[in-house]
Amino acid sequence: MPAPAGPPAAARYSGPLPVRTPLLLLSLCAAAPAAGEGEAARVALKPRRNAETAPLAPAPLLRLTLGAQAPAGAALPPGLSPAARFAALDLFGGPAWLAFDAPEGARALGLLWTRGAEEPARGRAQPGGDGFWVRFDHVPCAGGRVDVLLAYARGELREATLAPAEHRRGRTLLGGAMREVLLVDGDADGRYDGAADRWVALRADRLHALPSIGMPALMLLAEPQVPFEEDGRAFTVRDVAADGSSCVLALGAPGAPAARVLERRRAEVREEHFARFRREEAALARERGLDLARPRASSPAPWPPRTLAEAKAEAQRAGKPLLVHFYSEANAYGWLAEYFTYPDREVDALLKGCVLAAVDVDKDPERTFQALELHSLPTVVPFDAAGARVVFVLRVRAVGGEVAELEGERAIAGWHRPQEFALNLRRALGR
């Protein structure tokens, strides 16, 4: 099959780059079972710098809006250039400000002043996508420390984010395996027990396999970890210390359905990607030959998170064909399809005649993506109402623009422009 077109700028800088440093081993924690729970352990958590441990940024990234107006009352350093940019925000329970400047001739890729710092931090560059990242690590700011990340594309500053520079980490044996427990101050208020704070418990090999753990990979404190264990139980946390020094990791009946957690996470990461696509819509349209004047649906058909078994049962009840959209949170192509392709009015009219399902390949307990021997993301797989896969002729366009038609295909792989996706979907549905 010809290769799909290469990723646009938005697809290529989806998160901080990994740092390949050894994971610091932490001591085991004594088990602390609670009434009604099969297993539980109290975990002692110690601070770790994001920049010194893997994953690099285990925290939600808080968006920064850099403006030309200096914050009121900020004690700014002398000598800032006219290009200096500023931001004011609340961090660690109090007001904070920062000033970013890249004066001509500076020996670093920018200087960052923050409230509470005596000297500016100097940026470190790392390649990313069609541009580069500039990182400022462990910068003192308003009683705490932050990591600031600036994303450049084609020499232009496109995005600015920050996160608390430290997370809390511990290790315990639970459910027959060693678990790394991470706790994050998600809203940077200096506490770890709030509604916006987050956690994750992973096997050590899984932790190292992730290039980063950003907002989509973490659970809110009130949520069970998904996917659930094979026996239907789930990891949860409780009794989280406000200072992040400890928590209880439990393995038992989940306190919330997996579908609810997945839908919240899906909506969150969708908005993260969509915000970037909105900023870069014109550039993406030029790069990929998209016609932004094509009519769009006023209420596009949703792709609810479902397992394949659930989706097949619904299609059989409805007597409709089934379309399953396989995606992952970090893969931008699937979100590009949801942003540009699926809301197209022609495409949407076809989708609304089907039962739709979205399957996150990283969180699917049935591991359907692997069972169907699929290999690329995103992929839309059509089934008839009885649950059998559909065979059809697929039209594909390679990077150079040449077009090929492939006999006997059973999936629409990759991101396609609306008119091409509509053609392939009509063929799959026999219309």
Q: Which of 186, 312, 193 is nearest to 247 (CA)?
A: 193
Q: Rounded to whole angstroms, how far apart are CA atoms 3 and 248? A: 47
- Give mean pLDDT, residues 174-196: 91
What burial letters (b/e) apply to 178-217, b meaning 16+ CB within 10 Å? Answer: ebbbbbbbbbbbbbbebeebbbbbbeeeebbebbbbbbbb
In the CATH scheme, what is the code of domain 260-429?
3.40.30.10
Order across the sheet with 355-360: list the strands. Answer: 355-360, 322-327, 379-383, 412-413
pLDDT tens-place string over residues 67-121: 999 888 888 888 888 889 999 989 998 899 999 998 765 556 788 999 878 888 9
Query: Cβ–Cβ contacts within 10 Å for residue 364, how many?
Result: 20
pLDDT tens-place string over residues 50-60: 877 654 445 56
Q: What is the DSSP letter of 65?
A: -
How much is the mean pLDDT over the chain? 83
Binned at pLDDT 50, 70 and 90, residue 3 comes out as: very low
- Name the strand (E) or helix (H) holding 326: strand 322-327
Diameter over CA atoms, the chain: 72
**What is the structure's pLDDT at 415?**
93
Binned at pLDDT 50, 70 and 90, residue 202 comes out as: confident
14's CB contacts (< 8 A; 6+ apart) are 273, 330, 331, 332
The number of residues making up the chain comes to 431
**Residue 37 pLDDT more than 70?**
no
Q: At what angle do helices 258-279 and 281-288 cross, to 10 degrees?
A: 80
The two three-digit tokens of residue 105, written as one number = 């001739």
428's CB contacts (< 8 A; 6+ apart) are 382, 390, 392, 412
pLDDT tens-place string over residues 143-168: 889 999 888 877 778 888 888 999 99
- Give mean pLDDT, residues 228-243: 92
pTM for this structure? 0.76
**Residue 130 pLDDT more than 80?**
no
**Residue 215 pLDDT more than 70?**
no
Residue bearing the bigger pLDDT, 332 or 33: 332
Q: Where are the domains of the chain?
A: 17-47+169-256, 62-164, 260-429
